[in-house]
Amino acid sequence: MSFLAWLESTTLSQWIVGSLWAFPVILTFHAIGMGVAAGLSAMLDLRILGVGRGIPFPELRRFVPVLWAGFWVNAVSGVLLLIGYPTKALTNPVFYLKLSLIAGGMVLLLRLTRRLFADGGGELVAPPTSPAIRRLAIVSLVCWAGAIVAGRLLAYTYSHLTATDY
C-alpha cells in the first residue's frame, strides 16, 4: 500500500486526477487508441473469417503499422490513467484480466501477420482459409471483445479508489 500511496501523491498523479481536462483528454486518447488497435485487428480477423471477400489480403497489410500505433497510444494513455488511480486498478482482478486479454490479442496479431504475410512484403505466406489461421482469428476476436468489456467493467468493479480508502 505504501507504493500506491506514494504514486497517488506524485505531482503527475495529482495533476491527472485534479485537472479539469487531464483525465478526460487522456481517456479520450485511450478510447481512440483502443478503437484503432481493436478495430483494425477485428477487421483483419473478420476478413480471415470470410467477411469482405472483395478486399485483397495484401491490402490489409498496410494497416498493421497503424494498428501498432493505436496500441502504443493506448499503452501510453493507459499508463497515465493507471498513474492517476493506481489503487483502483492494481487492486482489481478485472484489471489483470484486461491486460492478459490485450497481451493475448497482440500475440495473436503477431502470429497471424507472420503466418499470413511474407517478411516486409504483401505476399501471402499461408492460405487465410486454413483451419489454424481461422482459429487464431476467432480467439483474437474473443480477446479484443473481452479486453473492451473488462476495461469498461473497471469503472464498476473496484473495491478501493485510492490508497486512503484501503
Residue 47 CA to its chain's centroid (Å): 20
Distance in angstroms between the alpha carbons of the first and the last residue of the chain = 8
pTM: 0.89
* Domain count along the chain: 1
Q: What residues pair up with 124 in beta bridges, in sequence order?
A: 117
Give residue 118's pLDDT.
Answer: 62
Q: Which of 85, 96, 77 is nearest to 33 (CA)?
A: 77
Angle between helices 93-116 and 64-84 (to 10 degrees): 170
Grade residue 98 by pLDDT with cuts at 50, 70 and 90.
very high
Give residue 122's pLDDT.
Answer: 52
pLDDT tens column, 104-163? 999 999 999 888 876 555 555 556 678 889 999 999 999 999 999 999 999 999 988 888
* DSSP, res 91: T
Give residue 96's pLDDT.
Answer: 98
Give residue 147's pLDDT.
Answer: 98
Give residue 58's pLDDT.
Answer: 81
Give residue 166's pLDDT.
Answer: 72
Give residue 56's pLDDT.
Answer: 84
pLDDT tens column, 25-56? 999 999 999 999 999 999 999 999 999 888 88
**Do residues 60 and 44 make contact, with C-beta atoms less than 8 angstroms apart?**
yes
Point out the least confidently predicted range of 16-30, 75-89, 150-164.
150-164
Residues 6+ apart with CB under 8 A from 146: 97, 101
For residues 92 and 120, the model is more confident at 92
* Residues spanned by the domain of 14: 2-165
Amino acid symbol at 45: D
